[in-house]
Amino acid sequence: MIEVFRISPEIGKTYETATYTHSTGSWPNQKYYAKEVTYVGKFIKHESQGYRDNAIHWDTFLLEDKQIQVYYTYEGTTCFREVI
């Protein structure tokens, strides 16, 4: 299992993304784990459409001159890891 984090990406930094499948502990010491992560590149913007329970949110990354969108899950299981 790979530890991942429920963080908001920062513009200009590079990331991997995953949907966590397992967590341990309780807030504020909860940890999240995924079976695999995917490299998505440099974060360039966050967007959303709709509001409240009907809203969708996604982040856009730049990877080798292609824009990659990562959509947030309704359940809140979308996670990231910063790549240094």
Average pLDDT, the chain: 96
Q: pTM value?
A: 0.90
> pLDDT band for position 34 (50/70/90)?
very high
Question: CA nearest 20: which of 5, 8, 30, 38?
Answer: 5
| Distance from C-alpha of 29 to C-alpha of 68, rounded to nearest angstrom | 31
> pLDDT band for position 53 (50/70/90)?
confident
| Number of domain units in the chain | 1
Average the pLDDT over 40-60 and give the result.
95
Q: Which domain holds residue 12?
A: 2-83
